[in-house]
């Protein structure tokens, strides 16, 4: 069986020396059809995210159920599914109150459903999707309409839920609110689309690549700022304190919401510095372990500014994945347009290179 395996020391390789075990009770064996390539996968390879090798990479997949383990009732062989990365238990207090991203079993739950060259090999992010077949929990298998292209809906599994979910679940965007989105990749574009649906009046896209402006506007951004040292000031010029002054007392002016999707600490500081009184910045992107950001505490305490973190958009996959699919079917959420380029699995290194150079909104690897 073919798959992309992280072998340690900054290296990953495509191999046909993989095996996957049969599904156990409450598990599902999935044949992957399409997988997005996410910065998080690259972060494992380059060491930004520590992960034990060997491990099969990928966590943004869609496919077809092949076999079901004992007790599985919500899906059956032949069903088209999106694979959620949240491997929650479904029984704890957090699951019972509807916040599966806070389930203690949904993080750090590395398993070894694979064998690589005869030795145990782990999954990644509870899924592994850069492989022809994988085993997941029943709770992670979200059935979808088979008429919807798997090459597009695979992106919902991570990037879209992370960006859109942060708008819909982690905060409470009101009609007419203003927002800035830092990072115009798959996560940022999803946040922009969710802000449009939520009724935001001004959506400012921020990126270091000027060529991303048309893409940001295509997905709903009303403005674009090329990131630099003066990013907060540029944002206040677009959403000023008054008709005559971009900045008011105690740095008044700016946006109600700022979503940082790149994981860069300087961008997170700029997001906080771009807030209006009472505004909130949402940390979505994942930086290196131990990253710290210095923040102006007095301006936060006295002016009701906030900084919050959101894991996986605080998503509820069994509700939010079908919701995105329905918005897509209604023409309200762009999925096809987010796929900049498709690749054969053998071209995965080209996809990584294109991602690194900012050439992609999202790249998708196809298995069929």
Which among 76, 93, 104, 110 is annotated as catalytic? 104
The CATH number covering residue 46 comes to 3.90.180.10
Q: Which two tokens stand for residue 249?
A: 């007392």
pLDDT tens column, 47-57: 888 899 999 99
264 included as an active-site residue:
no
Is 265 found in the same domain as 125? Answer: no
Is 69 found in the same domain as 184? Answer: no
Which among 2, 17, 48, 89 is annotated as catalytic? 89
Q: For the residues 179-198, what does the mean pLDDT come to?
A: 97
Q: Which two tokens stand for residue 76?
A: 């059956």
40 included as an active-site residue:
yes
Coil, helix or strand at residue 212? helix
Give me the sign of the Cα torsion angle 147, 219, 193, 200.
Answer: negative
Residue 145 lies in a domain: yes
302 included as an active-site residue:
no
Is 153 found in the same domain as 85? Answer: yes
Cα separation, 334 vs 219, whole angstroms: 7
Which among 80, 234, 311, 362 is annotated as catalytic? 362
Q: Which band of pLDDT confidence, cut at 50, 70 and 90, is reported for residue 84?
A: very high
Q: What is the pLDDT of residue 317?
A: 95
68 included as an active-site residue:
no
Which among 27, 85, 101, 103 is annotated as catalytic? 103
Is 350 found in the same domain as 301? Answer: no
pLDDT tens column, 99-146: 999 999 888 778 999 999 999 999 999 999 999 999 999 999 999 999
The CATH number covering residue 223 comes to 3.40.50.720
Length of the chain: 368
Nearest to 60 by CA among 39, 29, 88: 39
38 included as an active-site residue:
yes
Residues ≥6 apart with Cβ < 8 Å to 198: 167, 168, 173, 174, 175, 177
Q: For the residues 64-83, what does the mean pLDDT come to?
A: 97
Cα separation, 36 vs 29, whole angstroms: 19
Is 355 found in the same domain as 218? Answer: no
Residue 317 lies in a domain: no
Which among 27, 38, 231, 311 is annotated as catalytic? 38
Which among 15, 40, 178, 231 is annotated as catalytic? 40
Is 354 found in the same domain as 228? Answer: no
Is 167 found in the same domain as 150? Answer: no
Q: What is the dihedral of CA 256, 262, 267, 272, to 10 degrees?
A: 30
362 included as an active-site residue:
yes
60 included as an active-site residue:
yes
Report how far apart the first and last C-alpha atoms of the chain are (Å, whole number): 14
Check pLDDT > 80 for residue 2. Answer: yes
Residue 329 lies in a domain: no
Query: Which DSSP string do the residues of 322-343 spell out, in sequence order?
Result: HHHHHHHHTTSS-SGGGEEEEE
103 included as an active-site residue:
yes
CA–CA distances in Å: residue 166 to residues 76, 107, 160, 171: 31, 18, 10, 7
Which among 15, 39, 162, 231 is annotated as catalytic? 39
Check pLDDT > 90 for residue 356. Answer: no
pLDDT tens column, 252-311: 999 999 999 999 999 999 999 999 999 999 999 988 888 999 998 988 899 999 999 999
Q: Which two tokens stand for residue 360?
A: 């992609």
Is 235 found in the same domain as 183? Answer: yes
Are the CB atoms for 123 and 113 separated by under 8 Å?
yes
Q: What is the pLDDT of residue 126?
A: 93
Residue 324 lies in a domain: no
Residue 323 lies in a domain: no
* Structural domain span for residue 116: 3-157+335-366
Nearest to 221 by CA among 274, 178, 250: 178
Residue 45 lies in a domain: yes
Residue 346 lies in a domain: yes
Is 45 found in the same domain as 128? Answer: yes
59 included as an active-site residue:
yes
Which among 158, 231, 305, 311 is annotated as catalytic? 158
Q: Which band of pLDDT confidence, cut at 50, 70 and 90, is reported for residue 40?
A: confident
Q: How many CA atoms lie within 13 A of 360 on its CB side?
A: 24
How many domains in the chain?
2
Is 288 found in the same domain as 268? Answer: yes
Total Cβ atoms within 10 A of residue 266: 14
Is 132 found in the same domain as 52? Answer: yes
DSSP assignment, residue 160? H
Q: Which residue has the tokens 């674009």?
A: 224
Residue 316 lies in a domain: no
Check pLDDT > 80 for residue 368. Answer: no
Which among 15, 27, 60, 127 is annotated as catalytic? 60
Is 82 found in the same domain as 55? Answer: yes
Burial of 22 (0-12, 13-18, 19+ CB in 10 A): exposed
76 included as an active-site residue:
no
Cα separation, 90 vs 109, whole angstroms: 15
């Amino acid at each position: 069986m073919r798959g992309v395996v992280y072998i340690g020391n900054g290296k990953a390789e495509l191999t046909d020396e993989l095996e996957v075990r049969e599904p156990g009770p409450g598990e599902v064996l999935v044949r992957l059809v399409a997988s997005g390539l996410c910065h998080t996968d690259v972060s494992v390879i380059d060491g930004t995210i520590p992960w034990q090798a060997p491990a099969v990479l990928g966590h943004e997949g869609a496919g077809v159920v092949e076999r079901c383990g004992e007790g599985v009732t919500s899906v059956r062989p032949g069903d088209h599914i999106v694979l959620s990365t949240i491997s929650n238990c479904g029984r704890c207090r957090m699951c019972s109150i509807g916040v599966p991203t806070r389930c203690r079993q949904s993080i750090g739950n590395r398993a070894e459903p694979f064998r690589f060259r005869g030795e145990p090999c782990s999954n990644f992010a509870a899924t592994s999707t850069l492989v022809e077949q994988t085993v997941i929990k029943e709770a992670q298998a979200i059935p979808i309409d088979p008429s919807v292209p798997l090459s597009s809906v695979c992106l919902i599994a991570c990037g879209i839920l992370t960006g859109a979910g942060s708008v819909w679940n982690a905060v409470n965007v009101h009609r007419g609110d203003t927002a800035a989105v830092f990072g115009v990749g798959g996560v940022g574009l999803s946040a922009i689309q969710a802000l449009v649906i939520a009724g935001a009046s001004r959506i400012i896209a921020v990126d270091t690549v000027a060529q991303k402006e048309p893409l940001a506007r295509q997905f709903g951004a009303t403005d674009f700022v090329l990131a630099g040292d003066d990013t907060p000031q540029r944002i206040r010029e677009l959403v000023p304190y008054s008709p005559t002054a971009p900045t008011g007392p105690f740095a008044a002016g700016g946006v109600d919401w700022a979503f940082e999707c790149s994981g860069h600490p300087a961008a997170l500081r700029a997001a906080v510095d771009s807030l209006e009184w009472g505004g909130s910045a949402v940390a979505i992107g994942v930086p290196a372990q131990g990253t710290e950001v210095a923040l102006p505490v007095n301006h936060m305490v006295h002016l009701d500014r906030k900084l919050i973190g959101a894991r996986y958009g605080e998503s509820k996959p069994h509700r939010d994945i079908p919701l995105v699919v329905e918005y897509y079917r209604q023409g309200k959420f762009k999925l096809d347009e987010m796929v900049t380029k498709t690749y054969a699995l053998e071209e995965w290194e080209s996809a990584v290179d294109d991602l690194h150079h900012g050439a992609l909104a999202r790249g998708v690897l196809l298995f069929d």
